[in-house]
């Protein structure tokens, strides 16, 4: 696997020219070290400030957090209970993740919006609070994505959007049309032969890093330890904004939980 470039934070112009315009992933190390979240966010912080809040959590069933027929497996858990499980070292198949603006908008007080998406016409954010060993399936997102790693480490596996045919993606009519059944870390080539020789990039993301995932690039993650991250989706331009809003409306109408 080829490692994703690790660089010092770039100017907006350099980022646009070298990475976004070329649809090229990159890690900007230390790019969020000035965020209050870097010194505040911990299990004690979430338990103390949001302990009684019920939060959405993906739950793994038979090794997967989704089903082609029913979509993602979401349940609710009290934040204090989730933090307690992690603090006790209790194995759990929960993975707390939610849209920040809908569930915990107070978290925006602890971040500084990066200049790379500062003038975006449309934005959305998700929190990812992962237990040790948590994994996400191979999937892709329409918007541009800046993934801020705040606590712990995480490994990403990324595949160019131009290689979508190789990942045996689920049908558009399924409940998970943006997901693939392939495990990019250990692919079963007998079941998914088109994935043979597919170039995979690997990104080792550390606390303080900002990972840029270009629009529609396939990616999956693994958390070797407790990990807290927040991503910022964004799009620019009238057509892109309309597409992003249309995708959200489509998911609501179809009852998708992704």
* pLDDT (tens digit per residue) in 68-90: 888 889 999 999 999 999 999 99
Predicted local confidence at residue 66, as pLDDT:
85
Q: If you average pLDDT over every residue of the chain, what do you get?
A: 92
How does pLDDT run across 173-216, given as a tens digit for each residue?
Answer: 898 999 999 999 999 999 999 999 999 999 999 999 999 999 99
Query: Which CATH superfamily is 2-163+198-254 part of?
Result: Cupin (2.60.120.650)
Q: What distance separates the 2 farthest-apart alpha carbons in the chain?
A: 49
Is the pLDDT at 230 greater than 60? The verdict is yes
The residues spanned by each domain of the chain are 2-163+198-254
Q: Are 139 and 221 in contact (CB under 8 A)?
A: no
Q: What ranges in the chain are assigned the alpha helix state H?
A: 12-15, 37-40, 43-50, 79-88, 100-103, 238-254
With vertex at residue 12, the alpha carbon angle to CA 9 and CA 15, rounded to the nearest 5 degrees, is: 65
Whole-structure pTM value: 0.91
Bridge-partner residues for 135, per DSSP?
Answer: 222
CA–CA separation, 131 and 95 (whole Å): 6
Mean of pLDDT values over 218-230: 97
Q: Are 68 and 137 in contact (CB under 8 A)?
A: no
Mean of pLDDT values over 25-49: 98
């Amino acid at each position: 696997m080829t490692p994703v470039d690790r660089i010092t934070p770039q100017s907006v112009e350099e980022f646009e020219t070298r990475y976004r315009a070329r649809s090229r992933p990159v890690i900007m190390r230390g790019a969020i070290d000035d965020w209050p979240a870097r010194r505040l966010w911990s299990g004690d912080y979430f338990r103390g400030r949001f302990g009684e809040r019920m939060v959405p959590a993906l739950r793994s069933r038979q090794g997967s957090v989704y089903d082609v027929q029913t979509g993602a497996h979401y349940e609710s858990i009290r934040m204090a209970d989730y933090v307690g499980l992690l603090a006790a070292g209790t194995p759990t198949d929960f993975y707390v993740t939610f849209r920040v603006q809908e569930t915990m908008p107070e978290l925006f007080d602890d971040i500084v919006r990066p200049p790379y998406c500062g003038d975006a016409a449309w934005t959305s954010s998700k929190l990812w609070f992962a237990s040790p060993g948590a994994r996400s399936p191979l999937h892709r997102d329409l918007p541009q994505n800046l993934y801020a790693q705040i606590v712990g480490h995480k490994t990403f596996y990324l595949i160019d959007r131009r290689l979508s045919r190789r990942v045996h993606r689920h049908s558009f009519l399924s409940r998970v049309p943006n997901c693939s059944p392939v495990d990019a870390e250990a692919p079963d080539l007998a079941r998914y032969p088109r994935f043979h020789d597919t170039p995979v990039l690997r990104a080792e993301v550390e606390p303080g890093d900002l990972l840029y995932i270009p629009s529609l690039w396939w990616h999956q993650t693994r958390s070797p330890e407790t990990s807290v991250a927040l991503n910022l989706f964004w799009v620019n331009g009238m057509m892109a904004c309309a597409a992003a809003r249309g995708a959200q409306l489509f998911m609501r109408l179809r009852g998708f939980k992704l």
